[in-house]
Every structure is written in structure tokens, then in C-alpha cells.
Structure 1
Amino acid sequence: MLGKNTFHRLLYCVIALLFGLVTMSGCTDVQADGAVTADGARASDCAKLAALPGGTGTRAALVVDNTASGTRAQLPPGFDALLADLQKGKAQLTIIAVDGRGRTPQGVVTFALNPDPTDSDLAQRQRAIAISCISTWMRGDSAQPTAPGSDIVAALNTAARHSTSEILVVSDGVSNAGAFDINTVGFDADPKEFASRIRPHLAAELTGKKITWGNFGETNASLPESARTDLKSLWTSALTWPEGGAQLNFVSEPGKAGGGKPATQPDEARLPVTASVTVGCRTRVTIPASLLFTAGSVELRTGSGKQLQDVANTLVTNPSWMAEVAGHAANYGTTEYQTRISTQRAETVASTIASFGVAQDRIRSIGHGSTQPAVPEFVNNVHDENAAAQNRRVVIEMGPKGCQA
């Protein structure tokens, strides 16, 4: 004779069978003692969920980024509570995938986070599956980019038009297509100037929206902390402003790595990195200015001393070596300004290296202004901001006294 719990379970399963929701109801393995074996969301579960009527509450959007620069990690832990609140509010969620250059982002799926607001076992199972299906959809084939690059602004604009309440974003934030091309803008761009240029490209519907951003700065190639800070400042300035911008919040703890498919399109984001090469008898270390200084500043930024500590360690290990620190500026402003900022930055770097135990008379500093560019800044009389970012640098050459590179 069936127990009461088992009878109720079988009754729910009959109802589920009638509506074609057997796996969603947890009825795939009903035991004699009433225990249920649940193995999470299956593709068939998610397909059936997507076919159910939409939610009756607000509309929210989830922007997911599967472009090559990011780690394609899972949902960050901080999103659990956000999705639970949306579920309680009977929200409808649209998943929108970041696409590449020249492509219009498409909605992957729109579904009810809480398709059945009752407290039945079937309803609870559907709610659990709704959350599980998000991870399936956000990394599935339909969410993969179809062109090279990463146009995050276009995805945010699409999300703003789908959402009446809030937008969740799972992205490294490294955009290199469309209105925000980090390869052109540069990590050390002035945030206010950048914001004034990009705001005309932002959808009016972003105004007042609550945006929660997870997995920010989680790139495949390690993103220096200074570059992560700069990138966050650029996005914050672009999306928030006193007259009515969005409400932007970054979730600090990233999602667990893994679970994403290999990137299908190239995403050539140029991240600022320190380069060290041997030139004859000398070692040349080139450090992008953005890793050492904020825009227009000659004071070292917090946390940048480690790279200079490595240079100092090399000089301490080789007591006969001398060093020259050369500052280089982009071709902005007057010649006097370029010389001044490059000289002062070189002096700051030299002083910092000396503070790590290297005699000051072993270090020479000089500022070259914009007279020795690494790459041409003007092509057909058009100024290239990406080239300018490459030219803002500090070059340290070390070697035995009298050594000529």
C-alpha cells in the first residue's frame, strides 16, 4: 500500500505528465519510500521552461559575454540573491549575448523565473530548474559571438530596451568594438573625457537602470590591477552621471572558472603589459605609463611599486650595473608639457627604484617628451589614440657601466 507522501508524489507526476513536464517535476525516479532523485536541469527541461508563459512581474535582462578575452566563468556568487529576489517578484528574464564587431546583439531566450508562484512541489522544482537553466543558456551555442571583437555597449543598449527594472552583466568588461574600443581609447584615458564621447552612443533606456556587474576584469591573460582599476573607472564614468545615469554596482567575487566553451571568434584586446628584452649587453624594460600613473599624473599609483621592485632587485644583484630611466609622452599638448611630464615621470620612477636600496648615483633619468615615439601617432593626418597609449611609457635600460646597447 502506498504511503501518503508517495501518493502525493505520484499525483504530481501524473499532473506533470499531462503538461509534458515530467523531468521538470523531479519525477524521473520515484522510489517506493517517496524519495526523489534529481540530477539538475537537462536540455529538455530548459526547452520546456522556455515554452511556458512569461512572468507577470518586471522584466530584467542578463548580459553574458563569451568573447575570447574573458574566462567565461560561471555566475558570480553575489548573483544568487539577486536572481532569488527577481524570482520572488515573478520577473521575466531575457538573456542577451555580447557579439562582435558590426553585429546586433540577440536575445538568447526570454523566460519566467517563477513560472508557477504556488508552493507545490512542481512549482518549487520549476523554480530550481529556472535558475539552473541560466548557466546552460548563458554558455550555450546561441550565446556565442558570431563575429570578431566584443561590443559590450551594444549588448547593454539591447538589454536596457528589454528591461524595465535591472540589468545583470557577466563580462570581463574588455570591449574592443563599437562605441567603446579599448584598443583605441586606451586604459589610461581620462574618464570624464571618455564619458562625454561615449554617452551619445548609450541608449536612453539605461537612465535609472540598476546594473550589477560580475566577473569584471576576469580575463584569460592576467589583467594588471592598475588596468582593472582604469577600466572600471571608464565604465563607471560612462554609465553613471549626476543628471540621471544608471546605478552601477560591481560584484567583487568572481564566479568559478570553467564551464564555458572555447572561444569561436578572435578578440584582439591589447592589454597593457611590461616587456623585458635583452639588447646586446643591456636589459631593456618597457612599462606602459598606464601601469604606473593615472592620466596626467606624475605620482605613482597605488600598487605599482612591485614592477619597480623587480628592477631594483636586478640592480642589487648586479652591483656593477647602471640604469637609465627614460620617460616618453604622447603627442598631446605643447612640447613644453610633453617634456615636463615625461621628465617628472622618469624622475619619480628613478627615485622609487633608489628607495628599494639602489644608490641614486647609479640611476640616471631623462624625459624625451614625444620625440621618440614607439609607433606613429598620426596616419593620414588622423591622430591614433591607441598609438598614443603605446607611446606613453617608461623605458628602463640596465647594464654594466660603459655598455652600449
Structure 2
Amino acid sequence: MDKNTLISSFGKWVAPINFSHFEKQVAATNQDKYTKKLTTKAYLMLFLYAHLQEEESLRAISDAVLDEDLGQALGLDGISASQLSRKNREVDPSLMANVFLHLVQQIHRHKQGKKRVDLPVKIIDSSTIPLSLSRYKWATFRKTKAGVKLHLRLVFMDKGTVYPEKAIVTPANIHDRTQLEVLIDEKEAMYVFDRGYVDYKRFDRYCDKGIFFASRLKKNAVIRTLETFSVAEESPIMSDSMVVIGTPQKRTENVFRLIETVDSKGNVIRLVTNRFDLSAEEIGDIYRSRWAIELFFKWLKQHVRIKTFFGTSEEAIQNQIFMALIAYCLLVLVQMETKAKQSILQLKPWLKSFLWKSYEKWFHRIQFRSMRRKRKLST
């Protein structure tokens, strides 16, 4: 990118990527050894552009390069769909995964200035992305279906700010519980996950290691109540008790807290946790933050190119998924830098509108709208 591109909104958006470190990794893996035109750096930027614009095919991406501004940013005057296809399957997904993790580290550094008394809430879940069995035979998980699964750890900061922190892409036939040990790897957090991850041995292990969690319990779980706690009449909590879980043959060694409350639809749910220091209402609110990961998966499937793919190889699929996560993290960093009150959903169309204009115009738009919103709330 030249000096003019660096100050465009597109240049500012991708600027958090450490391209110097990225190109060292590319060189170390000989990724561009025989490349004459489409470097891995240009490939990354081009496919981030494709996510932003929600391009539908390699042909559409190839045509987009004919745009003078994009071509100048990439250092390309044109590229064929077949060249894009070849590069898409040749790039090592670990390069994209490393870019994603580097951006997560930057988000962490932004967060360090914000004092938190409570533990950060980290939500764990997965989403299956269906694929055509005839085109993706390597991803078969049923007789008539194929697919991949994105296992994700999402950090919930508040209602307006969430971001992916750890991601694993597997074939769809891999059970969620097999990835739990990878996604839960630190003590200083409160993990939230659904009943599909329930594992009594792991619950005991988390207690022994000092790892806090809250999960929905299966309906058929065997419970033995040791003590019942009082619940206020006006509380949404129906019951709060100390329990052990499981049959006499397979019972937890540690005691847990069982809370019965209602979800947003009025259905009774049972929550299990190893935290006794919070009120039952606080535990209920923490579990309800799980909705954030459902919204995140919905955003990915609707606002970047992740429901359909530009390639059929496992490498092409993983690269596209990791670049979708990179695109989201880049928007989160803009949100943090500008202290924007707008959601990621609102920032993205403004970026598209100001893509090749000075980034100050994009930032001015964000801050102007934030000030207007602040005035409305104060009146």
C-alpha cells in the first residue's frame, strides 16, 4: 500500500494487522516462494475486502480488483479467478489463525485500561456450517450431509461489545465436549456454556483447579439436595440450593449450586455453577449473556461471507472462516479506538461507504453519530 492508501478508511481498518510479522511468517514457511503476482499479504487483504463487500464468487472478487483504488491498495492490476482459487487452497490456515490471535491480543491490551471487579464472562459454543456432500466429501458427517463446525470462545464485555477470543474449526462430526479442554484454559474467567457440554468429571476437575463456570443442566440429571437457600418472593429465581449431581455410582465429588429460574420465553431452566459468592439473580443474568454468542454466529452468517465458500478444500474453508473472524476483530478495534456507541452492525456499512475516502471522514461520522446519540439520551 502506498501513502495514500494508508490513510484511506480501508487502510485504517486493516492497519492493526502486523504485516511485518505476517510477512516474516510467510517467508519462514516459503508460502510465496514461487509466487509471481498474488502474494499472501495481497490475498489476505483481498479476501478481507471480499468479506466486507460480501462478494458471492471468485469471479466477482476477480472483477473487483479492476477497481483502481482496490488494485492500488493490493499492488495488482488484475487477477484471474483460477489464480484466486489456487491461492485459496495453498495458503496455510495457521497464518490466518495467527493474525486472528494477534488481533485478539490487541483487543486485550485495549481492555487493560478498564478496571473490572468481577471476572470476565467467556461464552463457549459451536455452530455447524452445512456444506454440499458432493463438493465437500472430506467433511462428511452423515450419510447425506457434510459440514464443518466452528467452536468458539466469546468474551462478553457488555451488551454492546463482544469479541471472539479463541476459535477451532473441525469437521461437523466432532462432538462439542471434545473441544472444551482447549477452550477452557485459564482461571481468571467465568465460563458459560450450554447443556451439550455437560460432563460431571470435568465439573469436578474445574472445581479442583479453581475454574468457575455456569451451565444449563439436562432435564434427566439426578440431583441430591444438601441444603436449600431462601429466595425472595419477587425474585425471578424459583429455587436455589446446594447439591451433588449424578447417581450413587457416578456422582460428583464436589458440591455445586443448582438454581431454577426462567428463560426469556418463560420456560423453567436449571443452572449449575460452582460459584457461591454471587446472588442467584447474578448467576441467572450471567447465563442469559449466552444470547450474545447466538447473535455473533448470526452476524457471521449474515454479514460476512461464511455461509457459502470460495473453495472446496479444507484449507480454503478454514482460511475463509478465520478471515471472517479477523474482519470482525478489526471492527472491534475501531469501535474501541473511536469509543463508538454504535454496534459492529452499524460500523460496517459506514466503512463500506467511506472505503476509499480519508479515514478521518469515517471516524468523524462515527463520532458525530455517537455525540448525537449521547445528546438524545441526556435530554
TM-score of the pair, normalised by structure 1: 0.28
Larger relative contact order, structure 1 or 2 (CA cutoff 8 Å, min sep 6): 2
Larger gyration radius, structure 1 or structure 2: 1
Structure having the larger proportion of residues in helix: 2
TM-score of the pair, normalised by structure 2: 0.29
